[in-house]
Chains A and B, each alone.
Chain A
Amino acid sequence: MTDTTGETTAGPRRPRLNLHVLGPVLALIALIILGASLNSNFLSYGNVTNVLARSAFIGIIAVGMTFVITAGGIDLSVGSMAAFVAGVMILAMNAMIPTLGIGVPLIVAGMTVALLAGLGAGLINGFLISKVGIEAFIVTLGSMGIYRSLTTWLADGGTLSLDFDARSFYRPVYYDGILGIAWPIIVFALVAILGELAMRKTPFGRHCAALGANEQVARYSAVKVDRVRMATYVLLGMLVGVATIMYVPRLGSASGSTGVLWELEAIAAVIIGGTVLKGGFGRVWGTVVGVLILSLIDNILNLASIVSPYLNGAIQGVIVILAVVLQREGKSAD
């Protein structure tokens, strides 16, 4: 039968789609101009480094979240998972000091533990979702509570602290860098670039989008649906591990309140960036822009005393809703 909706897309769609794509970028530029005009320190090396380095944790996680959401899933557990991985990493490193001493091997061992813990946590989420067939929302809501509680339990209600000497040795991983660029920024940039490539250029990225768009079609097209879905959660888990590796040297401790609400910030960044919450379409660079928008709002409120920083959450909330409204505008042009 004739499907005439097609003709609508042929003509007026392009310019609107561009606006839809450019929206987050324009918002980011506007924020930078606003920040620079409000405070002369805004564009200083110190402030820029500070903003970018602090965005790195959420940013690295949000890149992984982009794949999960694109494939039609969601992961609410990443904040708790980060706290748990940090706790396990600190405990493991403290326990290994007598054998390994304080030095590079200890740091490498700690990093390995963090990556493995993240991978394991992602595997459990992925297994329950794709093999057992429980809804992602339910599984990760459950694991969110479990990891949060396990962390509090490991810390016995208090704080897990890395051995003082080990912490001093590990600190540069957060505070130093090469050519004046801090390590967290370098790692975030690498993760983002690799993520963007994976999303746009690899069969994995294509399969994620196909799975999120219509799982049946993916299945009928010989896509190993379970495996792809599982892989998105494992990838996210590992990136939580990477984020934790960058986070632990900053404070050298973890507690039950580490990483609270990170999951929502990560999801918000993904959505602001133009990835469709229902899945089927994802944009890693958009997510990066989304993360930057969120942290710039925070930064500007702290630097300029026009609006109380306490309203940070409210402004971010408005931005998220606005982003989705814009997304829908883009859709109605289809």
Chain B
Amino acid sequence: MSAVLEARGVTRSFGPIRVLHGIDFALLPGEVHALIGENGAGKSTMMKILGGYLSPTEGELLLDGQPVRFADQRDAESAGILMIHQEFNLALQLTVEENLFLGREKRRGIFLDKAAMRDEARDLLARLDCHVNPRARIRDLSVPDRQMVEIARAIGRNARVLIMDEPTAVLTGRETDVLLGQIERLRAQGTAILYTSHKLDEIARIADRVTVLRDGSHITTRPAKGFTEHGMAEAMVGRELSDLFPPKPVAGDDIVLEVESLTVPGKVRDASFSLRRGEVLGFAGLVGSGRTELMEAIVGLRPATGAVRVNGKPLAAGSVLAARKAGLVYLTEDRKEKGLLLGKSLTENLTLLALDRFGTLTIDKRAEDKALTRAISDFDIRVKDRGMTAGSLSGGNQQKLLLAKTMLAEPQIVIIDEPTRGIDIGTKQQIYDFIAALAAQGKSVIVVSSELAEVIGLADRVIVMGRGHIAGELTGDAITEDAILRRAMGVGELTGASA
């Protein structure tokens, strides 16, 4: 079968820096082709070139065997190549159907044919098994729903080639199933799908062929069959991988954090738990179960009732600064919108949380500079230039910068929400090691994660949340995927939750 879209010897440089080295790559109709690699391996650049967002510095693209140059992304779109981004391309103030037909509105005479558009929108969403109201505004939708709308938009444009940049990073397990089902349908219809994800199990499940990039070079392209997850990880990292999770630390006896009957109106009901010194406590649950809201309420980011005590002392409500001063910090799951100032320098980001440590009247810039040097080496942040903005770091390095920023406040208790979202396996391992090291130093860590493997691998005690309340607690060998899921879905109470 001949390729629908092909890259030959594609090289791309940004200024003096070359990020892709002569990549050859072919996408066949009716295949799911996974593109994997660590952060910074060149996946995004490759996808942007294929999607018409960037042009290759050298080499050429072939569409149906004919050389082609896309002037821009719209040019690629009219050739049937659509890219779905991690950061969505949706107009927040418009409705679902308005977004689906944005730029290709149906008309009757000079007026919009709203009825026809609504019918087609409904049809598109139904094909995706997505139950959002076509008239809802995007800003009122949850992130997974927005993802579905984005996919519906691409399908509505009759994509021949669909480029999906980590489509499942924000989806729950069930939503992922729906999406993968849809991808299979598209494949059966002959659509070529380029797919990236850091979730290797997903790739093993859905992909026909796998291409691995490392440091901007093409490493291998192989059929997915017989390519194990471990094999993929090693091809990405370029070395042998030892055990992903470090040994679990042993928690002390004294209690450093007590949360009592915390209630966040509409989100969390009556949550109570405690945390010991040197403990890694896992928080599991489905998206929307109130985990993030509970954590935000604990550090004073959300209005709540109930009590929070740090080392036995009550914490003033509603003040992030008071929490920080008591040694309690929260690392957000949303590093792009809530964690980092993407347009600002690394230094300004690094010291923002603990700025008062750098002088009260004026900021000691030399000390800031030293702190950056230390953070770069302690957290292994790969920077090309110390003056670069936080937004131009890769996702994994942004996460490390966020960790460095948080640790600069010298906390005793660290709450980390989704510590490895959208991060490659090598960086993941570094972050896991770091969490274990924190606990070994006698600090206490709460890990909130949607990745069950992560919670199970890191924590020696796991609290499961479901629909806004604490649905169960598991310790030691009782922490299994099955046990967590049953509690999270509310079917596990009968079989004896210990909380």
Contact = CB atoms under 8 A, between A and B. Distances in A.
A206 B352 contact: yes
A216 B389 CA distance: 18
A135 to B, nearest CB: 16
B385 to A, nearest CB: 5
Contacts of A7: 14-15, 17, 19, 384, 392
Contacts of B355: 203, 206-207
A5 B337 contact: no
B395 A3 contact: yes
B44 A1 contact: yes
Interface of A: 1-12, 197, 201-203, 206-207, 209-210, 213-214, 216-224, 280-281, 334
A221 B43 CA distance: 31
B165 to A, nearest CB: 7
Contacts of B341: 210, 213-214, 217, 280
A209 B348 contact: yes
A218 B349 CA distance: 10
B15 A4 contact: no
B143 interface: no
Contact of B165 (A1, A5, A210, A220): A1
A309 B321 CA distance: 54
Contacts of B338: 216-217, 219-220
A260 B406 CA distance: 48
B423 to A, nearest CB: 8
Task: Enumerate the 6 nearest inter-chain pairs by beta-carbon distance, A residue then B residue, closest first.
Answer: A11-B15, A6-B392, A7-B14, A2-B44, A222-B320, A201-B362
Nearest to B213: A2
Contacts of A6: 384, 388-389, 391-394
Contacts of A2: 37, 39-45, 394-395
B324 interface: yes
Pick from A1, A10, A201, A221 the residue with the most CB of B within 10 Å.
Answer: A1
Contacts of B226: none
Contacts of B332: 220
Contacts of B496: none
Contacts of A218: 352
A203 B358 CA distance: 9
Given A4-B44, A6-B394, A217 B39 contact: no
B203 interface: no
Contact of A3 (B44, B166, B405): B44
Given A1-B394, A220-B320, A9 B388 contact: yes
Nearest to B364: A201
Given A8-B14, A210-B344, A221 B391 contact: no
B392 A5 contact: yes
Interface string B328-359: 00101000011111111000100011011001
A4 B395 CA distance: 10
Interface of B: 14-17, 19, 37, 39-45, 48, 86, 165-166, 196, 301, 320-321, 323-324, 330, 332, 337-344, 348, 352-353, 355-356, 359-363, 365, 384-385, 388-389, 391-395, 398, 405, 409, 422
Nearest to A12: B15
18 contacts: A1-B166, A1-B395, A2-B43, A2-B394, A7-B15, A8-B14, A9-B388, A9-B392, A10-B14, A11-B17, A201-B365, A213-B344, A217-B337, A221-B353, A222-B323, A222-B353, A224-B321, A334-B343
A119 B41 CA distance: 55
A201 B41 CA distance: 38
A206 B409 CA distance: 17
A82 to B, nearest CB: 30
B35 to A, nearest CB: 11
A79 to B, nearest CB: 31
B14 A11 contact: yes
B77 to A, nearest CB: 20
A235 to B, nearest CB: 16
Contacts of B392: 3, 5-10
A202 to B, nearest CB: 6
A216 to B, nearest CB: 5
A6 B39 CA distance: 13
Nearest to B337: A216
Nearest to B37: A2
Given A1-B165, A2-B40, 14 more contacts: A2-B37, A2-B43, A3-B394, A3-B395, A201-B363, A202-B362, A203-B356, A203-B359, A207-B355, A210-B348, A214-B341, A219-B301, A220-B330, A221-B320
A65 to B, nearest CB: 21
A267 B48 CA distance: 39
B7 to A, nearest CB: 16
Nearest to B13: A7
Given A1-B166, A8-B15, A219 B362 contact: no
A223 B353 CA distance: 7
Pick from B332, B365, B392 the residue with the most CB of A within 10 Å.
Answer: B392
A278 to B, nearest CB: 10
A214 B389 CA distance: 14
A221 B352 contact: yes
A206 B348 contact: yes
A45 B341 CA distance: 47
Contacts of B15: 7-8, 10-12
A281 B342 CA distance: 13
